[in-house]
Structure 1
Amino acid sequence: MIKQNPFTSPLFTNIWSKHFNHNNPIYKFNFITNISFNKPLFLSLYINIGKNLTKGISYFINEDFKILDFKKKVILIYDVPKYFNIKDDNLPKRIKKIKIKQYPGFLIHLENYKDINDYLSKNFSKSSKQKFNRYKSRLEHCFDIKEKMLIGNIEKSEYDFVFNHFKELLTKRFDDKQIVNNNLNPKEWNFYYEVVYPLLLEKKAALYVIYNGETPICVRLLYFSETIIFDAITVFDIDYTKFHIGKISIMKMLEWSFKNDFKIFDFSKGYFDYKESWSDLRYDFEYHLFIDSKSITSIILGNTIAFLLKFKQYLREKEINKTLHKLTYILRRRKTYSDTLIKEISINEINYKQNQLEPIKLDDKHAFLKKYAYDFLFITKEHFKNLKVYKVNNQLNTIYLLEVNEHIKILSVTI
């Protein structure tokens, strides 16, 4: 059980309530402590503050409670990690508790390892470790890479700069996947923007950033308890896919975690291949329902909610939610540069003279070329400063030429 949960802190609670509870009353019950509730319906249903925007809710059962304030009510708590091992042995018979499986979660028990090298040796093969180091070396060789943990006394202007790039990278990532991402819902994103900065100042949250020059190319949003790091939202620039920045950032984060004596690195809820690869424990998130077993109204309402949540989980396990996210994206679809058709062609397929080459920059106008240019740098092991990009004039199709120290790649582009 954790004592300093960032998701039940007054700061998190008050800002969430401002955005999603419209400053309506916040409720507490005397048999359950360290957690607050809102009442979203006319029914006697109470849902934890934070709802599904937390990465792990914890609470305590009060041994000296009286249940006078819980009669005929139902409590629903989202996102309780099973490994929190919340004790409920002292609940009275009148209160019935139902646990319902939710998303899978993944974590690393840092206390089982001496340091990052010990962790890597025990969880990955020698060849995998060599690949990780090669990706890191190649990234640092091809670009002007630096990293920073934004935590504590950070200027608001710096925070805004990174958070704006954070949103751009997430938008770009999910446009490429062609699915919606709930974090980018304006209401949710505005909440994250407002809550993270004050938590960052209190060292209960941080933004880990990898930069190419002055531009963020990887951002991880982290929350902290006294012993746990919650990896909340992570994204990297997909133009750098060849360099495996996701793996590099995980190694860097784990290195930082060991140095700062954290016991658990929690990848949080939701399945991704990388989480399974890097974790040493898979666990379940749960919904926790509390029902007044002497109230017919509470029994009917509680069991109806339990049925709906179990059905929702069944649909999730059948990946119906992924289909819905894709359909929603199609309905909201907007044209992006991922729609650009790019094909690599051989130098023999075009005829050009030197005076037909028009030098161009890899700016926003030519952003669709960046991934191919960076892949080219990865293969040639050359630095970005040596890359030259040309547009070939007098061609039936639009042709671009990438050149770096006598290496050439030619691309045929249809937008």
Structure 2
Amino acid sequence: MIGMSGLLVKSTVIMKENLQELNQRKLAADYPVILGGAALTRAYVEQDLHEIYEGEVRYARDAFEGLRLMDALMGVKRGVPGVVLPELKQRRVPRRTGVSAAGAAGAAVEIEDIPERGSVRSDVSVDNPVPTPPFWGTRVVKGIPLKDYASWLDEGALFKGQWGLKQARSGPTYEELVETDGRPRLRGLLDKLHTENLLEAAVVYGYFPCVSKGDDLILLDERGNERTRFTFPRQRRGRRLCLADFFRPEESGERDVVGLQVVTVGSRIGEATARLFASDSYREYLELHGLSVQLAEALAEYWHARVRAELGFGGEDPARVEDMFDLKYRGARFSLGYGACPDLEDRAKIADLLQPERIGVHLSEEFQLHPEQSTDAIVIHHPEAKYFNAR
């Protein structure tokens, strides 16, 4: 039995390739596959991937569903009476008038009318004020103190998501565990990171003039010539959103501004977690690794707030940091590989513009950022910009 989990949209492509490789090696019949993770949906696994895989492939929403599936798969294999696999999700027939291959034999099929790329712009407003950045081009900031961004740490994501802190059936509440276990451990680790100088927080960021054209965001040089171009996917239903819609269209004759940023907490903390893993100190490894990932995210949030302030609307931010995690501020920070901008190849364009090697961040051949505890983002100032999935 094989299990795969994917966080980024790119993961879905790799999973499909892995299933095809198992088919090619004639191993599919011997290896049931369970897939899960934030990048996947049940429909994609149990419809699209089920159609191409020659063995059994199932979707698990979480670890508990994965365990139930493994029990069922083993029960069916052993012939346990009464054990059956849950039914697969049935494919919904979309609505659109047309004739498919089946229709050629006389069966009319309705399919959703989906416009061609760039043919329909969403209803996002195009008359919002365009802020003036404090500079054009890029800047590097190094040596950011831990105290400046530690307050932006999302404790819920750390305690629940990374450390697995949760209430037992007859034990203390989650809130009590946070006070007696989570926060004391967090304070101890933050002290360790500070005293052992394991963090090298740094940022490279910049502002670029731009316009949009259909599904494309075009960054311009100082003379107004095209410098680079991002092509983003557009939703095929609903508002038909596309990231390009949040910028002034080329035909308006106006220029907009886009922010780009790459942040990192450095390589030392990754080296420290690797030493813990090599010494079989798995709990300490998981705790420190989880904290390092969330600190990189905290640094990204902190710098996004700095960008909002530099663009002149930081005063609209909520007073409580906790409300920041609910995106109660203007604009949004979109990282490559996620729903609205899933193509990791676009990282090469950001790297060309920002030159993140100046802060010790490098791009691999697979378009992954190294050190691992690094993030990139396209920063959009438009007040309607919020997270969405385009595919």
Same fold (TM over 0.5): no
TM-score (norm 1): 0.21
TM-score (norm 2): 0.22
